[in-house]
Amino acid sequence: MADGEGDPGVFTATALPGDPRLLPTVTNAFLGTRVFRDILHAAGVYSGAAGDTHRADVPSPLGLRMAAPGARSPAQSFTLNTWTGTFSHTIQTPGYRATHQLYAHHSLVHLMASSVTIQRLDGSTHPITIQLQSLFVPQSQDLHLRPGPDFQGAHYIYGQTLVPEVEGGPRPTVHMLWTPIPQWLTLGGEERERCWQFLTAVAGSEEEAKRSYSAGLSLAAAGSLHRSHVRAWAALRRGCSVELDGPLALRQALHGCLYYLLSALPPRDSPGVPFHGISPGGLSNGTRGEDYWGHVFWDQDTWMFPNILLLHPGAARAILQYRIRTLEGARRNARDQGYEGAKFPWESAATGREVCPEEIYGAQEIHITGDVVMAFEQYYCTTQDLKLFREDGGWELVEAVARYWCSRMVWSEEEQLYHIRGVMPPDEYHSQVDNSAYTNAVARRSLNFAADLARDLLLPVPEEWEDRARKIKVPFDEERKYHPEYDGYSPGEPVKQADVVLLGFPLMHPMSAEVRRNDLEMYEPVTDPAGPAMTWSMFAVGWLELKELQRAWSQLEKCFSNITEPFKVWVENSDGSGAVNFLTGMGGFLQVVLFGFTGFRIKRSSLLFDPAFPEGITKLKLSSISYLGNRLEVTITREEMRMEVAEASREPPASPLEAVLESGHRFPLREGQSVSFPTAPGWIQRLPSRTP
């Protein structure tokens, strides 16, 4: 490992990777860039119509490179500190140290900042000069930009994207203010140290851009701009803390995944700012032709969301609100294909209309509609947030999806079952198949949840929802006791990625341990070893479930070939192709830790646990598991589990909880009181109310 045996959350190198795609990213909920890059992206700002829609390139003055002319072979280092959310480049000579820092401010989400600090290290009195190299030009291929008057020493440009996503639709506006960047910085002969701050504010309105820039200037003048970012970021990391005792590579991978995924989330205190979803390559990528063009897929709802839900339910809610805001687009997609209800697009941007450049995926990969609803179901079971469903549009979405699935099914007289025909399953090597096991199982789950939710909301339950859920075909081979991927699948046929294995987790489709094992045994050897990174994590979760710890570890190890050095940036495929900064793979990896090692399963009335660690891992500590308004600290070793309610919500009041072991032992979980018991399967549930 490039970092030796140092802090697993700090990645340091003396040289940069040769491929600029593998440079680390700095992002927050609204802005993102790759270090040393001359463009950035703003959330929700797309240009191009339909299949040409892509993140609009915003010119970035932050892609500075620092050089020390005249210095003889200075020592250089490049560091990504995941504890402070900061990237730094340091040049050191015997006489001075120059440090360039870059970060996307975590609480002022319209602000990115960089600074250059020169420190004199000896007693000399001559001026020290550093060169700043920049490719910045205030122009964009995607925005019609005009200059405006300077503001508080900042230059100003503004303009709109060139082409709307849908004909006659809005063209997002971008306003940008930035500190002019000189070519040279000089520390005077009488100075020991000096820091220069460079701010960039980007927003959808002039007022917000100016407000953010002014706020940044004030904090910089007080010497607390970086400190305020570090404080906000550290609070997020503390509130989403996952630590394990195990191999260094595993701990580094864990910190890298948490850094990149949490960077994409809104701060806890910004409920008024609309969230625009998370794409596979994050906000730092998505220019035309790059990393799925910044579109949002099932990657968000299936692969990233479950981790976010356990660690940061407020951010999980913001993701669901993105889907609610795009519901009208999903309704239009269904109508355009001749169906009722709402069909979520395979690739989504700002409107919820299908923006996939290739028609086959948008037409056939319809399982995403069930994936979206599964995220809503997991959120509901974990939070009991009825407001989202009663008042904020959640019920309308769940109901529209149930109507879609009903209209998408056809009745088979021969089998006396409902079929869904002509689809592409998650395994994209096959198309136009009938009765994809995963698609039909996720459709059943959507319908069952819609019926359960309707009852909870005291609404009538359409009879056809439960009837179709009961009678939809999920292919099963009675002789071999496994799930064929679709009607006509032959054992041994190559599979691109995790598909049927997802029935066990996250779908929790009813099956015996024998069938679960058979599914894993059937598909593991035929899954493409060059397939996308998240696949192996789901095999790992399956083997952990069956307590096959060595097999689980061998699957998890495959993920490491997708992690690049030195900054732990993931690539989609192990040969380096596909999306870069692949948050989907990171999401799968985190699920191995948060759901595989713990055995956590989100059920309607409980959170199951059944821990299992591969050899070499001795302890897992989660300081932030959110369940029914409680924030739980959970520490697991092979011998003991320790639980404590670290914080219970007052408004609305959190549900009192208890841990129940399969053996029947019960342990009330009270705020500030730690309980421990031998490591064993069980569940966390509401503490039953005692009647007098």
Catalytic machinery residues: 428
Dihedral over alpha carbons 414, 415, 420, 426 (to 10 degrees)? -130
CA-based end-to-end distance of the chain: 61
Token pair 């099956």 in the structure block, residue = 511
User: From CA 577, how far away is CA 558, in angstroms rounded?
Assistant: 16
Quote the tokens at residue 579.
């999306």
Are 79 and 101 contacting, i.e. CB atoms less than 8 angstroms apart?
A: no
Instruction: State the Cα–Cα distance between residues 29 and 35, nearest whole angstrom.
Output: 17
With a CB cutoff of 8 Å and minimum separation 6, the contacts of 464 are: 406
CA torsion, points 426, 427, 432, 438, in degrees to nearest 10?
-50
Among candidates 108, 141, 62, 328, which has minimal Cα distance to 226? Answer: 108
Q: How far apart are CA 569 and CA 564, in angstroms?
A: 5
Cβ distance 339 to 322 under 8 Å?
no
Is 330 in contact with 344 (CB distance < 8 Å)? yes
What are the counts of helices (DSSP H) followed by strands (DSSP E) for the chain?
17, 32
CA–CA gap between residue 328 and residue 423 (Å, rounded): 23
Which amino acid belongs to residue 153? G
618 close to 635: Cβ distance less than 8 angstroms: no
Both tokens of residue 560? 């490491």
Q: Which residues pair with 597 in a beta bridge?
A: none
Look at residues 378, 310, 311, 448 and name the one whose alpha carbon lies nearest to residue 604: 378
CA dist., res. 374 & res. 358, Å (int): 25
The DSSP bridge partners found for residue 632 are 625, 645
The tokens 């490049």 sit on which residue? 78
At 227, which helix (H) or strand (E)? Answer: helix 225-239
Name the 3-class secondary structure at 507: coil
Which tokens in the block code for residue 630?
A: 């409680």
SS3 content of the chain, % helix, strand, coil (to 5): 30, 25, 40
For 308, 540, 622, 631, the CA distances from 611, given in Å and listed in that order, are 20, 13, 13, 19
The answer to whether the CB of 615 falls within 8 A of the CB of 286 is: no
Q: Is residue 670 classed as helix, strand or coil in its secondary structure?
A: coil
Residue 398: half-sphere exposure toward Cβ, Cα within 13 Å: 31
Task: Give the DSSP letter string of 379-407.
Answer: HHHHH--HHHHHTSSHHHHHHHHHHHHHH
Instruction: Give me 320's structure tokens.
Output: 């669901």
Strands of 58-59's sheet, edge to edge?
25-27, 31-34, 39-42, 58-59
Cis? peptide before 566, omega within 30° of 0: yes
Token pair listed for 338? 């001749």
Phi-psi region of 384 (alpha: psi -120 to 50; beta: other; left: phi over 0): left
Could you tell me if 649 and 385 are in contact, meaning their C-beta atoms sit under 8 angstroms apart?
no
Q: CA 78, CA 667: separation in Å to the nearest integer?
A: 48
Smallest CA-to-CA distance from 110 within 172, 63, 180, 178 is with 178
